[in-house]
Structure 1
């Protein structure tokens, strides 16, 4: 019966029980865990995301690299920000004994990671797409967010995909008072996505651009955010933060710009997300997006994988079948 070590970490914070929780399950070198088993284990943890991290190996370029897969409770994701930063902090800071650099391999592409003084930086895969074929309307906003109906119209509403399969309705609000009125809802956002991009996760990302002097310790352009997906609110959403900052950089023609995103305040789980964006020389596309943040370990243990279904392969697979598995914590 294989045993799978796991830890939980709080990401985008240096304080336990703040930030966004993440489960990291380690897959041993000779371990064989199917996609179905991973999904069931993620459902058992019942966090916004669970990462499955394979043992390190030496890449062709000499860098240490880890294969990893990201699961929500209901589906696998091609990329997500807080799992990437949490996995980077744990892989480099703990497994590799404070190594300075390495690489994570996910289905969205390879991610170069760096680590120093408790902060991980990830040069993330991106394919930023701003949806233009259909406009997201105020009426569509007010259906799940009736408390915002007093607004004649939000300052801006744009649908942005940082990568294909991750889609966010970006809604700019005037004030923190308006941001506080945002709520979870039984009604999920409905956005008509552009042809070829109509797939994957859709969430609403509400933001307020802070004025100079409204927050101490200026570390780039400061923004307060909340991410809502129907009845769920996320404490820190790195992929949405990257999409928003890429969009703002392109709109403002900002060649090299840094942002500090503060999220999760209303949930009592304050998170601080760093994003740096570099545009191409003609300002027409994104050259680089770097996501940064810290993580702190909360708990660790081992789980016994029962009634294992064999699924070979080190990187993401596409196996099917009915897996009757469970991660038995002990």
Structure 2
């Protein structure tokens, strides 16, 4: 019976059984496995995402590179944040020890990695789009989350960090309101802009925290967030964090913003997510988005397949 090596890591944490679990399945060089088989393996792990990591002859280069594919239980994704950080920490600590830079190639494009002291910084491929043709309404939010009825919704925006990944961002007034959010089983169904009407959609509820400014340095902004999609709550959603950070940076007009985001508290899996956003000269679009986080290994083994 053929089999593949795998590890699992908890991402956006340095504490096992916190953060967001990720399975990483390694495909030996020269071995071809069909997409349906890879999708079935991801479904068997039953995690929010599973990464397929292809062995690389470039692993010993000055700047090593690997190709990855990212699967949810039912579909493949062009990009996702916690799989990127988890895979980056894994390959840099085990396959390229001593190296500080690498490249991960995913379907959304190449991702440049910097690694030091157990922390990965990933320059995220992005094409941030704010949907404006048919805004999501407060009534629709209350339909998704009946316990929020009567709560002041400070801002609602539908944003895609890349095409195919879509999030409705709902700003709440305080942590008490954030605690009312629950997995209702209802999936958001926004009317996306016509050229962007494709892919996954989740709802993100967030509360802004402290904001600090230092002359000549990046603005620092903390916040708490939760990502809900039907019956799923995600402990850490890097792509959602990147989209939210870009949206808030443009909204505030600050050229450089460092975000410190905490997710997963309410489900007992606190995740610490960093996002550094640099805007272009117009301050109306993201020029660079860097996702920052760590990961810790939890399990290893082999998965058999037919």
User: Where in structure 2 are the equivalents of 1:250-261 lying within 5 Å?
Assistant: 250-261=250-261
Partner of 2:30: 30
State how far apart, in whole Å, the 2-side matches of 1:211 and 1:82 are: 24
Equivalence for 2:199:
200
- Cα distance in 2 for residues equivalent to 1:175 and 1:129: 27
CA distance in 2, matches of 1:281, 1:200: 31
DSSP-derived class of the 2:195 partner: coil
Q: Which residue pairs with 1:56 in the alignment?
A: 56
2:194 aligned counterpart, secondary structure: coil
Runs of 4 or more off by more than 3 Å in structure 1? Answer: none
How many residues align? The count is 299
What are structure 2's unaligned runs of at least 5 residues? 213-218
Provide structure 1 residue ranges, at least 5 long, that are not aligned to the other structure: 214-218, 307-330
Deviation at 1:245, TM superposition (A): 0.4
Alpha-carbon RMSD: 1.5
Query: 2:185 and 2:242 mapped to 1: Cα distance?
Result: 26
Cα-to-partner distance string for 1:155-192 (whole Å, 9 max, x where unaligned): 00000000000000000000000000000012111211
Q: What's the offset of the Cα at 1:96?
A: 1.0
C-alpha distance in 1 between matches for 2:302 and 2:95: 16
In the other structure, the counterpart of 1:323 is none
Is 1:262 the counterpart of 2:267 in the alignment?
no
Give the Å deviation of 1:305.
Answer: 2.4
Does the Cα contact within 8 Å between 2:211 and 2:220 map onto a contact in 1? no
Helix, strand or coil: the match of 1:141?
A: helix
Secondary structure of residue in 2 paired with 1:210 = strand
- 1:217-256 Cα offsets, whole Å, 9 max, x none, are xx93110000000111000000000000000000111101
Q: CA deviation at 1:97?
A: 1.5
- The equivalent of 2:158 in structure 1 is 159
1:1-330 superposed matches below 5 A: 1-58=1-58, 63-151=63-151, 153-211=152-210, 220-306=220-306
Tell me the SS of whatever aligns to 1:33. Answer: coil
SS at match of 1:58: helix
Contact 1:157 1:170 in 2 (8 A): yes
Question: Normalized against structure 2, the TM-score is what?
Answer: 0.95
